[in-house]
Amino acid sequence: MAEEVIDPVSVPVYAAKTSNEVREEVCGGRRGAASGGANWAASWVCPEDGWHKINVDAGLLGEVGSGLGVVVRDSVGVMKGCAVVQGPERWETKVAEAKAALLGLEVGKELGLRNIVIESDCLSLVQAVQRGSQGRSNFDLVLDDITDLFTSFDNVSFSFVKRSGNKVAHILAHLQPWEFGKRFWVHNFPCNVFAVATAEI
């Protein structure tokens, strides 16, 4: 389903999400390399040695608002941090997913990481980043912020994983109790989040 050859990870298809959310097809790839394929990951996989994987997700909770979830894990699957941003805004799905990716980059920068994989399940987001898409929409403005942060790292990779492999970020995006604002953990992680992350190793 990929329309063009894109960087190493893979190009998958993903359909619908919970409640009122609708996901778009998803793809992945690494900046600076070129490859294609259809071996779409259905479970979480550790990144290469020397890399950290940052899974991101967005959640739309009806009339309540939107949530963004981010989890950072190293090459052996150890959690290095996680973050949640929740607020009353009700962005369109694509914009919310882009904001989740931006949050992932911000968290990676805050942790001083050098080589990162941003793993999402929104095809339109990842393809737009790959193409260097430009425009004046709210989505494009967030993409500009994402691109600006690339210079904070030695290497940035975008990859796809099916919903079944993005459980931790999904839980964080819908984390209860719902609290407006940002929460960031580098230890004493929420119990349900830590349990799922540990089970995926």
Question: What is the count of structural domains for the chain?
Answer: 1
The whole-number pLDDT of residue 5 equals 35
**Residue 195 sits in which domain range?**
52-120+131-156+163-200
Question: Which range has highest mean pLDDT (8-17, 24-33, 37-46, 164-173)?
Answer: 164-173
Q: Which residue has the higher pLDDT, 123 or 67?
A: 67
89 inside domain: yes
88 Cβ neighbours under 8 A, 6+ residues apart: 64, 65, 180
113 inside domain: yes
Mean residue pLDDT across the chain: 82
73 inside domain: yes
Q: Which residue has the higher pLDDT, 68 or 29?
A: 68
Instruction: Give the SS3 label for residue 163.
Output: helix
Provide the CATH number for the domain around residue 189: 3.30.420.10
30 inside domain: no
Q: Quick count: other Cβ atoms within 10 Å of Cβ 34?
A: 11
Residue-wise pLDDT tens digits, 139-183 = 999 999 999 999 999 999 998 888 899 999 999 999 988 889 999
Under a CB-based contact definition with an 8 Å cutoff, are residues 119 and 46 in contact? no
17 inside domain: no
Amino acid letter, residue 19:
S
Q: Model's pTM, two decimal places?
A: 0.81
The whole-number pLDDT of residue 142 equals 97
9 inside domain: no
- Phi, psi at residue 91, to the nearest 5°? -75, 155
Instruction: Give the SS3 label for residue 116.
Output: strand
Residue 35 vs residues 29, 58, 118, 125, 150: alpha-carbon distances, Å: 8, 27, 17, 18, 20
11 inside domain: no
Residue-wise pLDDT tens digits, 143-152 = 999 999 999 9
The whole-number pLDDT of residue 14 equals 25
